[in-house]
Structure 1
Amino acid sequence: MGVQVTGAAGRTGPVRRGVALARATHLEPALAVSAVAVLLAVAAGVTPGRTVLVGAAVLAGQASIGWCNDWLDADRDRAVGRQDKPVVQGVVTPATLRTAALTAVAVAVVLSLLLGVVPGLLLLVLVASGWAYDAGLKRTALSPLPYLTGFGALPAGVVAAAPGTPAAPWWLVAAGAALGGAAHVANVAPDVADDLATGVRGLPHRVGPVPSAVAGAVLLGAASLLLVLGPAGPPSALERAAGVLAVPAVVVAALAGSPRARRLAFPAVLLLTVLDVVLLVAGGAALG
């Protein structure tokens, strides 16, 4: 399955292969999602040791999703000339990515379940959602579903890792799902032409860039407002500052809807997500 590149990877030094493998995890979003999980664990009162375990489990799961994506999409990436992809450059082979993806998902399962059955299974919903997206849901009108379910389950799993296995507040789960939906729109936007050329038609492709961008902005703004207004009591100064971050949703809408600036949309969503959670933690919102 995928493009078999012979010889090229074998002539590549171990350092370059290591860097290429790290890049193939989709490193920036993998680190951003892991950072959000760690910050939420701190806010939820998860013990330090288990917080490290949460971060490691989420990072392993995100790495597996990235490697799975580049493994399964090797033929498509080569067909459209994605020279930013290490597998297309011949630095790593699809077989190597397959092995890495399967190893990482096994590590993610073990680390997640070490947190307990409930938090472990909830964290693994995010992993399963990512694999389902890569395996085919991205080609259907249900393409937002893995993002909505996976990122809704993430805060639920992190909070459940706290002592007593508490349930996450509804507003935190809703905010996670909304951020996931916005991330889907922003993630798809730069690759619409390549996707259409290779037969990928998710929901954003079907409804068009401008309606998708508007929907993404609404979801992003809604997530920011949920994180401000959801916690009990009047919003603190820091939480009000988080509310101000809803304003960039309009900018993200313009970025995702504009052909010239679409590649900035996904990093903008990631940055806003991390800032939202940082302010949530700093504001002392009770998550457990």
Structure 2
Amino acid sequence: MVPRARIGVLLRACHPAPAAAVTALTAAMAATAGRGPLGTLLGTGAVAAGQLSIGWSNDLLDRRRDAAAGRADKPLTESELTTRQVADATRWAVACCVLLSAACGVAAATAHLAAVGAGWAYNLRLKATAWSWLPYAVAFALLPAFVTLALPGRPWPAPDVLAAGALLGVSAHFANVLPDLAADRAAGIRGLPQRLGRRASAATAVLAAATAALLLAPGWPVLAVTAPPALATLLAPPRSRLPFLAVILAAATALTVLLVGGGLRG
């Protein structure tokens, strides 16, 4: 068990900003798509647990590489947490993710567990390859599917929603990695953003977000949706998480327009 004094440190090890942003985005989709209070609560809890498992497993798997690179921002490398504490927390998160996902129905659970599996595939292998973008594309595309497949009739989202989700995932990946490019390279992580460099990665993040915005809200000025990630990417300090949060803001804005205009279902 993790002592209460360590819970704050444990939360810091779960990559809290991305985890909270993805969870909040899913909660907003579930609430506006008609999942109801209980369905929204179950879906949000499942996504939160899945994100916790992905974040903790990431630091757990990378602990030796992070230590060799001198990552002082990682609680495991600073001995603020033990390997066993993080491993136990990860197991509990996985169990909660499976149970809460199952409570949403077989189809929805399958979509969500596939999304979480993509996150684990990123941690286990793909983050250090040129295919590092693929798990993000798969996971973000499946999030709206997790929402709609729990509705009566188990409808799939419209194809343009799935495509936009995949593009937002790619954008989020590049924006999320930007603050850690130098540290990742020092740790031997050679994903696609690390190979392309900061400028090309920033351009990719903005372009993917802009294309997703066109798919989700074609009647809207794309500039209104893509300006936040563009400005954040260009103006944010090197270590800032603002670009990633701006991509999530752009996604939320585009999804709001979509839901007002007709919803996620195809």
Tell me the TM-score normalised to structure 1 length. Answer: 0.84
Alpha-carbon distance in 1 for matches of 2:12, 2:240: 20
1:171 and 2:160 are equivalent in the alignment: yes
1:139 and 2:133 are equivalent in the alignment: no
Per the TM alignment, residue 243 of structure 1 is displaced from its structure 2 partner at its CA by: 5.8
Contact 1:148 1:177 in 2 (8 A): yes
Q: Structure 1 260/192 Cα, relative in aligned 2: closer, same or farther at 3 Å? A: closer
Report the 3-state secondary structure (helix = DSSP H, G, I; strand = E; otherwise coil) of the residue aligned with 1:68: helix
Q: Structure 1 194/208 Cα, relative in aligned 2: closer, same or farther at 3 Å? A: same
Deviation string 1:216-253 (CA, Å, 9 cap, x unpaired) is: 11101112222212xxxxx4xxxx37761222343244
Report the 3-state secondary structure (helix = DSSP H, G, I; strand = E; otherwise coil) of the residue aligned with 1:87: coil
Alpha-carbon distance in 2 for matches of 1:128, 1:27: 19
The residue type paired with residue 250 of structure 2 is: L
Please give the residue correspondences for 1:68-87 in structure 2 after superposition, counting only pairs within 5 Å: 68-87=57-76
Per the TM alignment, residue 261 of structure 1 is displaced from its structure 2 partner at its CA by: 6.0
The residue type paired with residue 16 of structure 1 is: A
Per the TM alignment, residue 264 of structure 1 is displaced from its structure 2 partner at its CA by: 3.1
Deviates most, 127-136 or 100-109 = 100-109
User: Paired residue for 1:41?
Assistant: 30
Contact 1:46 1:163 in 2 (8 A): no
- Report sequence identity in percent: 42
Per the TM alignment, residue 277 of structure 1 is displaced from its structure 2 partner at its CA by: 3.4
Aligned mate of 1:251, from 213, 222, 231: 231
User: Paired residue for 2:170?
Assistant: 181
Contact 1:123 1:158 in 2 (8 A): no
User: Paired residue for 1:62?
Assistant: 51
Alpha-carbon distance in 1 for matches of 2:45, 2:142: 17
User: Paired residue for 2:12?
Assistant: 23
Q: Which runs of 5+ in 1 are unaligned?
A: 1-9, 230-234
User: Paired residue for 2:243?
Assistant: 265
Deviation string 1:146-188 (CA, Å, 9 cap, x unpaired) is: 0001111111111111111111111211111111101111111
Deviation string 1:100-138 (CA, Å, 9 cap, x unpaired) is: 112211211121122111111101122101111011110
Q: Structure 1 205/259 Cα, relative in aligned 2: closer, same or farther at 3 Å? A: farther
Aligned mate of 1:194, from 183, 206, 218: 183
Deviates most, 121-130 or 262-271 = 262-271
Alpha-carbon distance in 2 for matches of 1:252, 1:215: 14
Please give the residue correspondences for 1:2-13 in structure 2 after superposition, counting only pairs within 5 Å: none
Alpha-carbon distance in 1 for matches of 2:121, 2:204: 23
Tell me the TM-score normalised to structure 2 length. Answer: 0.91
Please give the residue correspondences for 1:145-164 in structure 2 after superposition, counting only pairs within 5 Å: 145-164=134-153
Alpha-carbon distance in 2 for matches of 1:241, 1:33: 24
Contact 2:59 2:76 in 1 (8 A): yes
1:276 and 2:254 are equivalent in the alignment: yes
Deviates most, 64-73 or 202-211 = 202-211
1:205 and 2:194 are equivalent in the alignment: yes
User: Paired residue for 2:40?
Assistant: 51
Q: What is the RMSD computed on CA atoms of the aligned residues?
A: 2.2
The residue type paired with residue 287 of structure 1 is: L
The residue type paired with residue 231 of structure 2 is: V
Alpha-carbon distance in 2 for matches of 1:97, 1:217: 34
The residue type paired with residue 277 of structure 1 is: L
Q: Which runs of 5+ in 2 are unaligned?
A: none
Alpha-carbon distance in 2 for matches of 1:124, 1:116: 12
